């Protein structure tokens, strides 16, 4: 019932905000306006659906800089988690199927970067577009797993190389983010799906500088970010287990 309510809420909110979103989407696209409306939409949907996004920070983030934001991906709620976090112009890179989505379609036709994961040409064009956005001072959000895990609970998948090569080539810091439990608040185990209100725990790690790195360092950088996120996921799981033992 909560999932049905949430879906209807998203539709009503989007329809209400669409005239302003459409105005900002007209050429030349007003990035700041589009992201403001995206933030408002995400904030209201979280507020009225009972999802609370709780952030912890390893250090204060300097949002006057741009980043390649890399987070693990287990739920559609992950997108909202990043939107509510970001403090400057940014774009998402995501699968081209999002062009057909009722809510995300207008963003992926204007400010965001769709990519066909089965096409090397599409991937090349997407990363060239990401490079252009970075040079313009925008942050780029990439889920380096490239997909949500088919297992349930989701397991952290191997990361793609692209985001880390791009970061090194452009001298842009990586901002690792660990999203702890969104999969348990909006779930799909292959047989059942649904959602329930709750607290979404997100850890924002210290940025990793890439200045001075060369392309040969991309693999090491990828593994470093993977280990950071994997370790934090294990910490989240351990804290939940400890809490359950206390409650019992």
- Quick one: how many helices (H) and strands (E) in the chain? 8, 9
Question: Which of 14, 55, 61, 19 lies closest to 38 in space, CA to CA?
Answer: 14
- Which whole number is the average pLDDT over 213-219? 96
High-pLDDT (> 90) share of the chain, %: 86
For residue 244, the model assigns a pLDDT of 41
For residue 117, the model assigns a pLDDT of 83
- Which whole number is the average pLDDT over 212-228? 97
For residue 245, the model assigns a pLDDT of 40
Calculate the CA 211 to chain-centre distance.
Answer: 24
Q: What is the CA radius of gyration of the chain?
A: 18
Write down the pTM of the prediction: 0.92
The pLDDT of residue 151 is above 90: no
CA distance 228 to 124: 27
- Which whole number is the average pLDDT over 25-47? 95
Q: How confident is the model at residue 240 (pLDDT cuts 50, 70, 90)?
A: low
- Domains of the chain (ranges, CATH numbers): 53-247 (3.40.1130.10)
For residue 188, the model assigns a pLDDT of 84
For residue 153, the model assigns a pLDDT of 86
């Amino acid at each position: 019932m909560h999932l049905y309510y949430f879906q209807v809420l998203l539709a009503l909110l989007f329809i209400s905000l669409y005239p302003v979103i459409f105005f900002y989407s007209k050429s030349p696209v007003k990035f700041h306006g589009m992201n403001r409306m995206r933030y408002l939409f995400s904030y209201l949907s979280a507020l009225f659906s009972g999802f609370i996004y709780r952030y912890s920070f390893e250090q204060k983030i300097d949002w006057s800089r741009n980043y390649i934001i890399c987070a693990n991906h287990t739920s559609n709620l992950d997108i909202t988690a990043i939107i509510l976090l970001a403090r400057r112009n940014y774009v998402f890179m995501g699968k081209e199927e999002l062009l057909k989505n009722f809510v995300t379609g207008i963003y992926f036709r204007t400010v965001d970067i769709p990519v066909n994961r089965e096409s090397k040409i599409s991937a090349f064009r997407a990363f060239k577009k990401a490079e252009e956005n970075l040079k313009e001072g925008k942050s780029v959000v990439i889920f380096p797993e490239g997909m949500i895990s088919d297992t349930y609970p989701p397991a952290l998948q191997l990361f793609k190389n692209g985001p880390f090569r791009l970061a090194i080539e452009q001298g842009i810091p990586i901002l690792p983010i660990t999203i702890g439990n969104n999969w348990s608040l909006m779930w799909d185990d292959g047989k059942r799906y649904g959602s329930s209100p709750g607290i979404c725990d997100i850890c924002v790690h210290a940025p990793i500088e890439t200045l001075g790195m060369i392309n040969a360092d991309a693999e090491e950088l990828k593994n470093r970010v993977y280990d950071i996120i994997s370790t934090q996921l294990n910490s989240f799981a351990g804290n939940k287990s400890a809490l359950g033992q206390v409650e019992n």
